């Protein structure tokens, strides 16, 4: 009862990459897991699919093609740079402070970038982290949320030759704004359980060191970028603090009604390869080079399918 398939899998790993799948501030959603693994003696690296203009960075920042090595002193060329913000926070807390960043590209170049980084770091595990749960959508749901970035990362990681590959989602409910039906999220998790691919769930608690540090990291990011704080991580942090309902922490949510609740503070973990195999269109993304091609493929696929009707929670 006190163990889980996720902990059993990661216990035998020593060099782990925790990577934000959906871009933006998704890497922050991986922070509680990464810090917990570091406390357990694992060598944990952080990475993110970046929404920043990485092409403007100095040449010496680039470790490989499409892999930038962001450090606390990396000079930003963009007003929105969560990777740099996180690197500075990590250094302030005495943590290994490099954050690897991938540009927004299609599956083929991102797959090559992941492969180079995996070999360079000699990884034995990759954990893709989604802030939200839309990475769990297989394609025929009522709404897919914002799938392009998540699916590009999923397809790229699926091709890696790494012993352990896992997807962890934190922020159940935050994708409702983008049309995700969360009864269908649970339906998909049930299907993954039947496949033997559901690895369990666990809460982020503010009473733990990792949970407290996560709250501090989110507050630090909000202070560095007060005009554009992460709604996803702000909602998760509010849930970790025990807040409930329509919590206000930024004017970005003005006009929307939030439903912050304890489920937002729970990680749901699944086997990455099994999740990729359940996708109805992931194979169509393999030859994409540009992110706009990914969007076009997904739009074309959606034109072909009849979505499953949304379901309401019965309680």
pLDDT tens digit string along 181-194?
999 999 999 999 99
Residue 26 to residue 294: CA distance in whole angstroms: 19
CB 27 within 8 A of CB 129: yes
The lowest-confidence range among 124-133, 291-300, 306-315 is 306-315
pLDDT at 36: 97
Reported as half-sphere exposure (CB side, CA atoms, 13 A), residue 212 has a value of 4
Q: Is 142 helix (H, G, I), strand (E, B) or coil?
A: coil
Handedness of CA 138, 117, 14, 263 (dihedral sign): negative
Residue 35 to residue 217: CA distance in whole angstroms: 12
Position 9 pLDDT exceeds 90: yes
pLDDT-derived band at 293, boundaries 50, 70, 90: very high
Question: SS3 helix, strand, coil % of the chain, rounded to 5?
Answer: 45, 15, 40
Chain-wide mean pLDDT for the chain? 96
pLDDT at 256: 83
pLDDT at 254: 79
Give the mean model confidence (pLDDT) for residues 269-298.
98
Q: Which residue has the tokens 């926070």?
A: 89
Sort strands 15-20 and 125-131 into parallel, antiparallel or unpaired: parallel
Residue 135 to residue 144: CA distance in whole angstroms: 8
pLDDT at 1: 65
pLDDT at 246: 92
Q: Which of 275, 273, 235, 272 is CA-nearest to residue 131?
A: 235
pLDDT at 76: 86
**23-67: pLDDT as tens digits:** 889 999 999 999 999 999 999 999 999 999 999 999 999 999 999
Residue 170 to residue 232: CA distance in whole angstroms: 9
Q: Which of 204, 241, 237 is CA-nearest to residue 220?
A: 237
Question: What is the pTM assigned to this prediction?
Answer: 0.96
Q: Which of 32, 85, 124 is CA-nearest to residue 221?
A: 85
């Amino acid at each position: 009862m006190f163990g889980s398939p996720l902990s059993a899998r990661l216990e035998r790993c020593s060099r782990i990459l925790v990577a934000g799948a959906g871009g933006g501030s998704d890497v922050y959603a991986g922070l509680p897991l990464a810090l917990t693994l570091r406390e357990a003696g694992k060598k944990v690296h952080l990475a993110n699919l970046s929404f920043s203009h990485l092409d403007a960075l100095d040449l010496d920042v680039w470790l490989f093609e499409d892999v930038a090595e962001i450090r606390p002193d990396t000079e930003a060329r963009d007003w929105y740079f969560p990777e740099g913000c996180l690197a500075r926070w990590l250094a302030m807390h005495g943590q290994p402070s490099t954050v690897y960043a991938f540009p927004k590209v299609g599956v083929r170049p991102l797959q090559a970038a992941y492969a180079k980084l995996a070999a360079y770091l000699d990884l034995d595990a990759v954990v893709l982290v989604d802030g939200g749960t839309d990475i769990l959508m297989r394609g025929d749901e009522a709404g897919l949320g914002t799938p392009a970035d998540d699916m590009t990362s999923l397809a790229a990681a699926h091709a890696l030759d790494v012993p352990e590959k896992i997807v962890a989602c934190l922020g159940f409910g935050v994708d409702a704004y983008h049309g995700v039906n969360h009864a269908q999220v649970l339906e998909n998790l049930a299907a993954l359980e039947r496949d033997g691919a559901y690895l369990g769930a666990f809460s982020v608690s503010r009473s733990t060191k990792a949970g407290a540090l996560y709250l501090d990291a989110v507050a630090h990011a909000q202070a560095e970028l007060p005009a554009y704080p992460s709604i996803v991580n702000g909602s998760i942090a509010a849930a970790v603090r025990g807040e409930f309902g329509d919590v206000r922490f930024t004017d970005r949510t003005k006009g929307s009604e939030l439903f912050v609740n304890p489920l937002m503070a729970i990680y749901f973990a699944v086997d990455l390869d099994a999740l990729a195999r359940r996708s109805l269109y992931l194979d169509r993304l393999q030859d994409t080079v540009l992110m706009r091609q990914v969007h076009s493929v997904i739009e074309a696929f959606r034109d072909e399918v009849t979505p499953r009707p949304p379901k309401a929670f019965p309680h």
